[in-house]
Structure 1
Amino acid sequence: MNGVKTGKQRDYFRLKLDPPLRSRMTIVMIKGKTLEVGSAEVLIEDIGGGGLRFLSDLKLPVNDQLVLQFETEVYSQQLKTYGHVVRSSPWSETIYEYAVKFTMDESAHAEVNRLVNSLAIRFRQRGSLPSGWFLQGDRKDFFHIE
């Protein structure tokens, strides 16, 4: 974890994760209709109370009608967040980087903020990663890129 990113347009403090955190992403709703589909593994690059940035080998639209669920584990606790893609850009020829704005209630935002603050403090104090689904290895290996 290299540090904390802040910006004028951000309402929440963001933590850059290095190495990234593995997560299961599922499309749970399109235009108000609930879906039951499988999940794909993605890499969360940074996270804050208002959203996250992740890498995926899936091409997703920038659309506030497409609700995504992210499930991961930190400190042996499951973390589940919901949001929609607000920005997309290529990371490589086959991998895309996405920015997600959370669509959760205030208590869920507060839970994410507590986790982000705890991760930042723990890393600064101990210089090591807490237990969780952090990537062991290279991003390109994760996505099977040569």
Structure 2
Amino acid sequence: MTQQNDTTTESRLDRGRRALDAIDGAAGRSVIDALDGIAPDFATYLFEFPFGDIYSRPGLALRDREIATIAALAAMGTAAPQLKVHIEAGLNVGLSRTEITEILMQMAVYAGFPAALNGLFAAKEVFAARAD
């Protein structure tokens, strides 16, 4: 399925690749590359659905989408690698370290202290690895 953009028609795959590069940069690309030897079709699905369809929708800014994603992944408590990728993405789309820390602290209220602690430790790793 293709959608009409401002000036061009682009496939879900192309739109997803563009969105992933803009949002996650190298972190997202490394996830896609890691799937090459085991499930390249799944990489295509990742491009098309989350990034080509959902992230590319109007209605929420990328910054807002990353707030929701960081909160959801932290609340799950089982997705530390993906949480780290999206903490990096949050920084890429304009969230500050303070805002990300506050998002993760907020999770203590709704997801419990263990989920908030795990999220904060994931953020600490991402912040330490990022030379800002």
Query: Structures share a fold, TM > 0.5?
Result: no
Structure with the larger helix share: 2
TM-score, with structure 2 as normaliser? 0.31
